Amino acid sequence: MGPSGTGKTTLLRLIARQLNPDRGRILIDGVDIAGLSQSGLYALRKRLGMLFQNGALLTDMSVFENVAFPLREHTRLGERLIRLVVLTKLHAVGLRGAAELMPSELSGGMARRVALARAIVMDPDILIYDEPFVGLDPISMGVIVRLIRRLNDTLGISSIVVSHDLKEIAAVSDKSFLVSDGAVVASGSPAELASNDSEMVRQFMHGLPDGPVAFHYEAPDYLRQLLGKDGA
Amino acid sequence: MSFLRELWRAQVEFVRTFGAMSLFFVQLLRYSPLTLLNRFGLVVAQIFNAGALSIVIIMVSGLFVGGVLGLQAFANLERFNAEEATGILAGFALVKEIGPVITALLFAGRAGTALTSEIGLMKATDQLSAMEMMAVNPMQRVFVPRFLGGIIAMPLLTAVFTMVGLLGAHLVAVELLGVDVGAYWQQLQQAMEPDDVYEGVTKSVVFGFVASLLAVWEGYNSVPTAEGVGRATTRTVVSTAIAVLILDFMITAYLL
């Protein structure tokens, strides 16, 4: 969790090595991913599933083909087996009936559920969610929250969820980290974070408009600027 | 001083872009054989997208360009009582110059812009990142098939343009203005050497290479916003047009 622009998505992209770290190490199962070759990286990514903020569905393919895409790319499964796996995953997210729709025909919540089905189709060990609740109506949000928790428990995987939605994070997380200015400023269970004394944590958890994260963007003196004395 | 600083910055930016584009080009070449071998279906789909979907605009343009050539050739040759050479003039112009050049310009406007905007939007909507995360190399899945599709489609489109252009010139010169049909085709056939056709084919292959590379590169290099994709699409048309015209001069000068 963390305020907007604090580096949450950057952190996820570092974990997935879509970005390379300037310094430091990122270990997944003890392996420093910065040192992986492209084939090593791709082998690792087959064990990762990632849900992008906007779903990132391939727009020239149907829902079915989107979910089948990783299977067609990485396995030699027959068409019947692919159909079985895809329908199973779509059923898990409640969209088996939408298999033939195109991404343009889906609502935001449905697109994210399809993307979730695609993310789990290769049975990953780790699922990464980038702002999965943004822009969703309460019903879709509730569905996604339940899916994240249920998939995590039934598939026995680890999930990393980046968000700034406190209630939803509290509902799905075992442990939360609060990130600010590119660093972890607090961690613990949602209840522990709520009782944290840090000014930064309190501002975030209680939604205070001013604090360590200032309300005003850095600007010249108000009066001087209004009266035009600094030439602005 | 600020002018010099701007000039320096522009030069650095140019070198950086040129370097990145060269690396991208090397990657395209590196993955081309593998893509042709393992993903030929994707290449065929892109030949269809770049070629078949451009065929109408190519044929209509070819017909009217050929017609204009027929008119101009006839009007000017008639002054010297040489109107039966209309076929030679129109044919040479179409096969060696106008066919490859106009096809490349039309390709940039129709297929090139489509390629750039498609790739740019894929980038803006995280589709390329999603592929990367699914351990699928976008180079093999997206860029190389489009690059190869454009290269293969261009000579085919040029051939269609030239043939329809010759037909357009025939319609105007023979059917409308009364040039003898036998003289029109026979003189053209006698005058045209294999080297002339070779020149046109060479140009269309080179233009296909450049137009496809620029279209795919601009999409890849676009800023992933609505404005950025729009700018990249415009750059595709402008840079392809300039590159084609410069290369046309260079190839002509070399082959003459």
**Tens-place pLDDT, residues B66-85:** 999 999 999 998 888 888 88
Name the residue facing A74 among B127, B133, B135 (closest C-beta). Answer: B135
A70, A118 contact by CB (below 8 A): yes
Closest-CA residue of A relative to B141 is: A73
Task: Give the pLDDT score at A225.
Answer: 85
Name the residue facing B135 among A46, A54, A56 (closest C-beta). Answer: A46
Closest-CA residue of A relative to B124 is: A56
The Cα A69–Cα B106 span in angstroms is 34
Contact A54 B136 (CB under 8 A): no
Closest CA to B50 of B216, B248, B162, B229: B216
* Domain membership flag for residue A2: no
- Chain A residues lying within 8 Å of B130, measured CB to CB: 50, 52, 56-58, 115
Closest-CA residue of B relative to A70 is: B134
Checking if the pLDDT of B125 tops 70, the result is yes
pLDDT, averaged across chain A:
86
Q: Is B27 on the interface with A (CB under 8 A)?
A: no
- Chain A residues lying within 8 Å of B126, measured CB to CB: 52-54, 56
Put simply, whether the predicted model's pTM sits higher than 0.90 gets the answer no
**Is B68 exposed, middle or buried, given 0-12, 13-18 or 19+ CB atoms closer than 10 A?**
middle
Express each pLDDT in B199-227 by its tens digit: 999 999 999 999 999 999 999 999 999 99
The share of chain A scoring above pLDDT 70, in percent, equals 98
Contact A54 B125 (CB under 8 A): yes
Give the pLDDT mean for A167-174: 83
Closest-CA residue of B relative to A39 is: B135
* Domain membership flag for residue A24: yes
Q: Work out how many domains chain A is built from and give that number.
A: 1
Could you tell me the pLDDT band of residue B29, with boundaries at 50, 70 and 90? very high
- Chain A residues lying within 8 Å of B122, measured CB to CB: 59
The Cα B107–Cα B101 span in angstroms is 10
The Cα B135–Cα B144 span in angstroms is 17
Name the residue facing B130 among A38, A56, A74 (closest C-beta). Answer: A56
Contact B129 A45 (CB under 8 A): no
Range of the domain at A155: 8-185
* Domain membership flag for residue A192: no
Give the pLDDT mean for A214-218: 80
Contact A46 B129 (CB under 8 A): no
Residues 35-64 of A with CB under 8 A from B: 38, 41-43, 45-46, 48, 50, 52-54, 56-59
* Residue bearing the bigger pLDDT, A135 or A84: A84
CA-based nearest distance B15→chain A, Å: 23
Task: Give the pLDDT score at A7.
Answer: 83
Most distant pair of Cα atoms in chain A: their distance: 74
Task: Give the pLDDT score at A188.
Answer: 85
Of A119-123, A159-163, A192-196, the one with minimum mean pLDDT is A192-196
* Domain membership flag for residue A86: yes
Buried b (16+ CB within 10 A) or exposed e, A101-110: eebeebeebb
Cβ contacts of B36 within 8 Å, gap of 6 or more:
B43, B148
* Structure token digits, residue A160: 């990393």
| Backbone Cα Rg of chain B | 21
Task: Give the pLDDT score at A230.
Answer: 57
Express each pLDDT in A24-82 by its tens digit: 898 988 888 888 888 888 888 888 889 988 889 999 999 999 999 999 999 999 999 99
Q: Most A CBs within 10 Å: which of B134, B136, B141, B142, as the mutation test of the A interface?
A: B134
* Domain membership flag for residue A195: no
* Domain membership flag for residue A217: no
Q: What CATH number is associated with residue A38?
A: 3.40.50.300
Name the residue facing B134 among A18, A53, A73 (closest C-beta). Answer: A73
Name the residue facing B134 among A38, A43, A69 (closest C-beta). Answer: A69
Q: Is A74 on the interface with B (CB under 8 A)?
A: yes
Checking if the pLDDT of B15 tops 70, the result is yes
Express each pLDDT in A101-147 by its tens digit: 999 999 888 998 999 899 989 989 999 998 888 878 888 888 888 88
Task: Give the pLDDT score at A140.
Answer: 81
Contact A43 B133 (CB under 8 A): no
Checking if the pLDDT of B7 tops 80, the result is yes
Task: Say which amino acid occupies B69.
Answer: L
CA-based nearest distance A123→chain B, Å: 12
Checking if the pLDDT of B232 tops 70, the result is yes
CA-based nearest distance A208→chain B, Å: 32
As a dihedral over the C-alpha atoms of residue B68, residue B73, residue B75, residue B78, rounded to 10 degrees, the angle is: -160
Buried b (16+ CB within 10 A) or exposed e, B34-45: ebeeebeebbee
Checking if the pLDDT of B134 tops 80, the result is yes
* Structure token digits, residue B2: 């600020």
Task: Give the pLDDT score at A98.
Answer: 92
CA-based nearest distance A176→chain B, Å: 24
* Domain membership flag for residue A194: no
Closest-CA residue of B relative to A41 is: B135
* Domain membership flag for residue A155: yes
Checking if the pLDDT of A232 tops 60, the result is no
Cβ contacts of B206 within 8 Å, gap of 6 or more:
B247, B251
